[in-house]
Amino acid sequence: MQFSLFDSDITDTNQPDSSVKTLPLAEADVKYYPRAIATDSANHYFHALKRELPWRQDAIRLFGKSINIPRLQSWHGDPECTYTYSNLTLKPNSWTDSLQRLRVLCETLSNTSFNCVLANWYRDGNDSMSFHADDEVELGINPTIASVTLGEARPFVFKHKESKATYTQVLEHGSVLIMAGTTQSHYLHGIAKTAKPIGGRINLTFRHLIPRNR
């Protein structure tokens, strides 16, 4: 499979850096590849995705009120991949060349097939992600989630659902985090706001969705 996007993008998706860190989390299987994408290619992807994805700020209902999600997002995938979370239903936009390339990278690292991706754009330190687990019915039992970080490094916090113990991993530019096994069953994860003046971060979480009508 070949995709054309950047003339300088030669090796990052076909020969990812295999340096890996296994996070010391009980009842979880989480691997972190800090240099999965070469810096020049990661820079290209960051700017390309900012331009090419149809970013929007969705709203969810909490306690009877409509509240804007504190980040921009864009949902992409195969035609059948309509996704619902927090009472918000997302119909998939088409795959782009850059998303396709990054999907191949994540499938290579995780040995998993993905049919959709949620893109989140954290524009600055005011944008965040509250604690949650990717445990929706459509994702099946013990899903594998591959998370790509482009742009500003941000602390990614895991919190055990029962013990409340936390673990923080800073997700760096060009990195890939693979969450597998029983991770979603036992842990929440999130990204906090910060008052520090920081740049933007684009995060892609690749998933395999099981349509509800099957």
pLDDT tens, 158-170?
Answer: 999 999 999 999 9
Residue of 189, 162, 161 whose CA lies nearest to 32: 189
Residue of 65, 96, 95, 75 whose CA lies nearest to 138: 75
Quote the pLDDT of residue 11.
40
pTM of the model: 0.90
Distance CA 205, CA 77 (A): 12
Quote the pLDDT of residue 6.
41
Distance CA 81, CA 21 (A): 31
Quote the pLDDT of residue 121.
98
Report how far Cα 135 is from the mean position of its chain's Cα atoms.
Answer: 14
Q: How many CB atoms lie within 10 A of CB 197?
A: 7
CB 87 within 8 A of CB 68: no
Tokens of 141: 């039992």
Residue of 114, 111, 85 whose CA lies nearest to 99: 114
Q: Which residue's structure tokens are 């810096």?
A: 39
Quote the pLDDT of residue 1.
30
pLDDT tens, 43-90?
Answer: 999 999 999 999 999 887 767 778 888 999 999 999 999 988 777 888
For the chain of 214 residues, list the mean pLDDT of each consecutive stretch of 10. Answer: 35 64 98 96 97 92 80 96 83 97 97 98 96 93 97 98 98 98 98 96 97 65
Distance CA 6, CA 76 (A): 21
Q: Is 148 left (phi over 0), alpha (psi -120 to 50) or beta?
A: beta
Instruction: Find the farthest-apart pair of alpha carbons in the chain and give their distance in angstroms, rounded.
Output: 50
Distance CA 7, CA 131 (A): 39
Q: Domains, the chain, ranges and CATH?
A: 21-59+66-207 (2.60.120.590)
The amino acid that residue 9 corresponds to is D
